[in-house]
A and B are shown apart, each in its own frame.
Chain A
Amino acid sequence: MNARREINLTINGTHYAVTVEARRTLVDVIRDDCGLTGTHIGCEHGVCGACTILLDGEPMRSCLMFAVQAHGRSLRTVEGLQRGERLHPMQEAFMRHHGLQCGFCTPGFLMLAVGVLEKRPDLTDEELIEILSSNLCRCTGYENIIKAVRAAAVNMKAPA
């Protein structure tokens, strides 16, 4: 019943080989087996979005997937946003616009926004707010998160 499987995960370009029970959630394996604790757990039932990561480029809730399902797949987490010491425009925008207070929901929002804007750089403001309503924040009241993502959307379109 508690048989463990060997799975391979590629997270932020790095390969991880871990052995896990089938019931271990993807977020638990990312945090505890791969040591990447930037992705947070807020509810474990798929509503708050704190656990949002990119799976094959699409934002998804890592608490709603078993790690074994991600075998052989490519994941991106908040730790992979920066390039060396250079922060991602989204991270910079959050800092500049006071888009975080306690920071607990922040990785989930960063991955959600990055994932969506990479695929759809020309989101309307209305679409943007709708997307951001996917995740919960209890500190900021969302105002500065929206500002930050709007600003980052512009920077992400600019030539590098």
Chain B
Amino acid sequence: MSVARLEDLPLVTGRGNFAGDVSFPHQLHMRVVRSPYAHGHLKVIDVAEARQLPGVIAVWTADDIADLSPIDFREGPNEKLAPFRQPVLAKDYVRYAGEPLAAVFATDPYVAEDAADLINIEVDELDAVTDAFAQPSEFEGALTTEPTICRQGYGDVALAFKDAAVIVELDLSVGRHSGVPLETRGAIGRYDAARDVLELHGAAKVPHKNRESLARMLGRSPAGIHLFEGHVGGGFGVRGEIYPEDIIVLVAALRLGRPVKWLEDRREHMMAANHSRQQRHRIRAAVDAKGCLLGIDDDFFHDQGAYIRTHGTRVADIACGILPGPYHVPNFRVSGHFRLTNKTPAATYRSPGRYETNFVREQLMDAIARKLGLSRIEVRRRNLIGPHEMPFERPLIALGDEVVLDSGDYEGLLDKALARCEWDKLESDVLRRRGAGEYVGLGLAMYVEKSGLGPTDGARINVHTNGDVEVITGGASVGQGFETVIAQVCAETLGVDYRRVRVVHGRTDRIEYGLGAHATRATVMTANAAAVAAVKVRTKAVHMAAQLLQQDPSSLTIADGNVVRTDGVGASISLGDVAHQLRPTSSTRGDRDPGLAAEGWFTTAHMTYPYGVQIAQINVDPGTGAVQVEKMLIAFDVGRAINPMLVRGQLVGGFVQGLGGALFEEFQYDDRGQPLSVTFADYLIPTASEVPEVDVLIAEDARSACNPLGIKGAGEGGVAAVGAVIASAVDDALGGKGLISRIPITPQVLKSIIDDLEVQGSRESVAADNGLPAGPD
């Protein structure tokens, strides 16, 4: 049901608690000093003058935190990749413009910035590596800028290509871009000496995992460090990993004996928070005469930036595992060259590894269609995995999980999408307009998403004596409506109004374990865990009430917070009163455990795989090259939609981010590795004027087989295929010749293509008029 959100009241009244809103008495303000150079030997950091500035309490460089190790990987130690971890503060080398070199602690953020200005830095500049495709060079000593190659595959690709009727080969690139939330990062470290607890406020996404890592890094007991998540202004995958700043504020809080507050500014964010997406794929497909895939062979080059951060090679691994999408690929080989460059380090951004590979794979399908003279729809039909083949095991690994497509009717959704947008009518309309000289086109993309990354989550539910329900989860909220969904699930099971359910999240001091919120797992994992706990609470309530009301438990149900007879007759008792009767000193409790409370755990063997179809109609202005999206359809199967309004919100929000990546957003660098997109005037996020009306078809045809609630999660379903579908539509507008090999697609590129096409076209018509060939082709 699309109920209104529980989260909204404080947010619309300006009473939120974002990191910037968190303040403690006597707090210091931290300002990070960052490398202005992309690559070089760090010779001198002279902080003497900065230290003298009134209001400055301390200035630290790498020497002041020499005992801290580089930042570890979230999944645990990895000997091979360890040398490429990021140090908390740079010591001998700087490897990207924006890399932290020093930290100023002052009584006022303005003063802290003044002090930062006084710090003198000398760097012997080295050549900057800005192209991940170039041959690897030296990282340090014998280590090169290709720490590893992510390889996956199965079958016999060489044979497949030998047998092929047709081979298609493409070279495709995705530009560097990322989540760029409206709220920049923030971290507040505070040491509660009275309880010997070190606190990190402003945490996000994975508080429990981070707490583990931080405890280890700082040599503290996990019981002596807690993370607190307040309101978070958008996550999108870039938040929540352990960044240098998080560690510094904690160490500083301990050593300086005062709370330390750090707020990132926008310019910093653009060069310090995780980048993403930049890959170049050289992909080949072998197909038979009917257009069926025999094999895919992909070499891609992943631009990781300067260091390997907490996610390790996750994004490249996912790309390897999910590239095949919804199609049969009998033989497969992928090599992901994981390359370091002198740019901001990269990691996950909403639909990581899929936004990129959806673009690549769907362009491949379009190319196959083109080569064989098939329609783009028909070539897909011939290759789709069928619903009767579910669960479909692919011998690939993504996110440490074997790829098992649990359920799905891909062709069914394709048909629904085509019918919904009236594809045939759109096509004839587009043909007519093209005939009149317009550059208008239709794009299509099919894709499989992943969600519900487990393996296990738990929740605790307690019913208070006034009937209010508290659900304590290890989840996290990044603005997606987590509290509301969990409350709805509990409310439905417990028989209460969802508005009486309080959901706790982002608090390591309230529950021991938690998965946080990433990989579109919150609804799948935490909601299912909450449901398990809720069933236990319901059972306990009904049995206790049965005793109190002298009824058979099977004749009772819960409605509106009261335990009643199913036939509506006779006495009832509120859940709050049941809870009261279960208090420790209650004489009626018997030998039941006190409290109307229970803990529930949910374990899943596999991720679940929602899937979608996106269709777009665009036009290109031949005078400027600008693209306008005229129509947009997102058809997405989520198994089961707990709150369709929230699902739609996720899909549309994701779509606009995807549109940014397709047409507007890019982190650009010059050849010295200087970042050129560090303001909102250079990095172009879509505004309301760039966004078309979006039609959303939420399907619930293929319930997940992986969890009792049947849900699959929609968080990444909107963004995932937008690069693919927009490229497909623009390609179509330009005559369907495969002229788009890179996203973002810029007006300048399109204007150039159109002008060339028009010259070619007039050459052809002049030649035709004269009975001559048009020229070399």
Contacts and interface: CB of A to CB of B under 8 A. Distances in A.
* A touches B (Cβ under 8 A): yes
A145 to B, nearest CB: 7
A100 B181 CA distance: 14
A142 B645 contact: no
A110 B681 CA distance: 23
In this complex, which of B21, B234, B480, B645 has the most chain A Cβ atoms within 10 angstroms of its Cβ? B234
B608 to A, nearest CB: 23
B110 interface: yes
Nearest to B694: A143
Q: How large is the interface on B (under 10, 10 to 19, 20 to 34, 35 or more residues)?
A: 35 or more
Contacts of B180: 138
Contacts of B9: 95
Interface in A70-122: 77-79, 81-82, 87, 91, 94-96, 98, 100-107, 110
B561 interface: no
Given A47-B680, A96-B4, A42 B16 contact: no
Contacts of A155: none
A38 interface: yes
B232 interface: yes
B234 A104 contact: yes
B26 interface: no
Contacts of B224: none
Given A91-B12, A133-B688, A45 B4 contact: no
B764 interface: no
A34 interface: no
Interface residues of A, number: 54
Contact of A102 (B182, B266, B645): B182
- Nearest 6 Cβ contacts at the A-B interface: A38-B14, A102-B479, A103-B11, A104-B233, A78-B14, A47-B680
Interface of A: 21, 23-24, 31, 36-45, 47-48, 50, 77-79, 81-82, 87, 91, 94-96, 98, 100-107, 110, 129-130, 132-146
A145 B688 contact: yes
A125 B217 CA distance: 55
A101 B13 contact: no
Contacts of B265: 44
A101 B480 contact: yes
Interface in B3-50: 4-5, 7-16, 18, 20-21
Contact of A140 (B13, B16, B653, B687): B653
Contacts of B687: 132-136, 142
Nearest to B263: A41
Contact of B680 (A36, A45, A95): A45
A86 to B, nearest CB: 11
Contacts of B12: 78, 87, 91, 94-95, 100, 103, 106, 110
B183 A102 contact: yes
B691 interface: yes
Nearest to A132: B688
15 contacts: A40-B182, A47-B680, A95-B4, A100-B11, A102-B183, A103-B479, A104-B16, A104-B18, A104-B479, A129-B689, A136-B685, A137-B182, A138-B179, A138-B180, A141-B656
B646 interface: yes
A31 B20 contact: yes
A103 B680 contact: no
A139 B181 CA distance: 8
Contacts of B110: 21, 23-24
A36 B693 CA distance: 36
B587 to A, nearest CB: 41
Contact of B8 (A39, A43, A100, A135): A100
B501 interface: no
Given A37-B20, A43-B680, A45-B266, A142 B11 contact: no
Given A50-B182, A95-B12, A101-B480, A138 B681 contact: no
A23 to B, nearest CB: 7
A47 B652 CA distance: 22
Contact of B11 (A42, A87, A106, A146): A106
B680 A138 contact: no
B70 interface: no
Interface in B60-106: none
B553 interface: no
